[in-house]
Each structure stands twice: as structure tokens, then as C-alpha cells.
Amino acid sequence: MSRTRADGVVRQATPAANPAKAAPAKATPAKAAPTKAGLPKASPSKAGLPKASPSKASPSQAGPTEKAHHDPTKRNNPRRARRHDPDRKDRIVDAAIQVIAEHGVAGTTHRLIAAAADVPLGSLTYHFTGLDDLRAQAFKRHAERMSATYAAHFDGVHDRDQLIDAVTRLIHGDAGADTHDWAIAYELYLAALRDPALREVTETWMRASRAVLERFVDPVTARGVDALIEGLVIHKTLATTPVPVEEIRAIVTRAVGKP
């Protein structure tokens, strides 16, 4: 479209830009962000992993400070406190009786007795002068217990027939003792053969048994019946076949004598 200026010159008019047909502006490509600028360098071996928080060192990795507080000499189970044990000596003697019954005099040791009594080894040397002293006290206590059982068996006996019956039952019932009790008694007899000091224990035991029988018969008969009781119990204990009670009664009747 042309226009005529006042001076008569015709000029070509420049067409107005059509907003709708305007060429689209070229998008300026965004610059790629730098791959390394402003970012912390990752460790080659731990890239992409979160940084571990510091933790306490284990005992095996403890530094000098930690080791100073660790005492390797301390046990995991500290020694229990010393207990009040007024019956310890009696328990040691009872334990010695048990050990003698199980192991014999030859196999009895301080360590076995201490273990059976659940006491420190030093308790034995504190309460006793030695193993011989402890064995003697063990035998003495056992003899006293056996004597008490023996005497109680004759409670209620008043005449000859009752005496024969009581003695027969005593022998047939192993004098009120079991194999454990007689094992200790036989160990005592054997030990007394080698150690004359122990014969005081055996003599006191036999004297107490005779005193019970002397309540019913004369001293000579009492000695014979006492020996008969012990001898027949030994025979019965070691026999491979049982001894008939009628046979025992017949022997006792002859030993007691006529009324």
C-alpha cells in the first residue's frame, strides 16, 4: 500500500507486523549446569553412600583411654561374699564320712572332702591339724551315730525272749544300718589295724554296745552276743545267699543261754 506525501513523492508503506504471524522466537538453550562446580568431592570408595555416624569403639578397638578402664584380671563371675557359716566344721566332718564311704580311706583327699562340703580348701587346714585328724573325727562321729541306733533298738526290751527277738531282728536288719554305713565301719576297722590311734574309736564303740547288752545279761555273755551280732552282720552282708531268719534266731538263742 502506497501513500502520497505532500511533496508528491510516493513512498511504499511498510506493512505492519501481524502479531499472529510473528515468527516464533528461538529458545535459547539453557546452559548445562556444571557437573562438578560447587559440589563436594565424593570419596572414591564411598561415593553415593551416606556418611556413617561415628560410633563407640568396641572393647577390642578401644584406645588407650578405654583400656585404662578395662581390667583383664577381673573375672566375669566375681567371688561370692564370705558367708556366715557356723556349722562349717560339722559339715566338713559329714563330708569326710561320705567321701570315705565312696572312695575308701586310701582314696580320701583334702580336695574331695572340700568339694563334697562345698567349702574352700583352706577351711580343712583351718579346722583340722591334718587329714589324719579329720578322718579320726569322721570315724568317731560315725561310731557315735551307729551306737545311738544300736541302743534305740533295745528300747522296750524287758525279758530274755524280748532280748532274743531284738537281737535277731537287729542282725537280720543289718543292725539298723545300710551298706553305706557298714562300708565306713569296715574302713574304720581296716584303718585301725594300721593306725593304733583309731583303736580308741573302735574300743569306745564296742564298749557302748556291750553296756547296752549288760542291761539284760552278764558282762561275759554281753561281750559274746555283741561279737555275734557284728560277726553275723558281716557274714550276712558278704554272703551271696540270704541267711534264714530262723537260723539267726537259733544262733542267738544259744548265745544268750538258758534263762
C-beta separation of 43 from 49 below 8 A? no
Q: What is the pLDDT of residue 167?
A: 96
Which uninterrupted H or E stretch holds 12? strand 10-12
CA 136/CA 210 separation, integer angstroms: 22
> CB–CB of 166/154 below 8 Å?
yes
Share of the chain above pLDDT 90, in %: 57
pLDDT at 242: 87
88-256, CATH topology level: Tetracycline Repressor; domain 2 (1.10.357)
Q: What does the angle CA 151 – CA 177 – CA 203 come to, to the nearest 5 degrees? A: 55
Kindly state the cell numbers that stand for 125: 587346714
Summarised one tens digit per residue, pLDDT across range 219-238 is 999 999 999 999 999 998 88
28 pLDDT higher than 70: no
Q: What is the pLDDT of residue 77?
A: 47
* Alpha carbons 134 and 88: distance in angstroms, whole number: 13
For residues 206, 211, 216, 217, the Cα torsion angle rounded to the nearest 10 degrees is 60
Rounded Cα distance between 173 and 171, Å, is: 5
The distance from CA 45 to its chain's CA centroid, rounded to whole angstroms, is 54
**pLDDT band for position 92 (50/70/90)?**
very high
Q: Would you state the pLDDT for residue 224?
A: 96
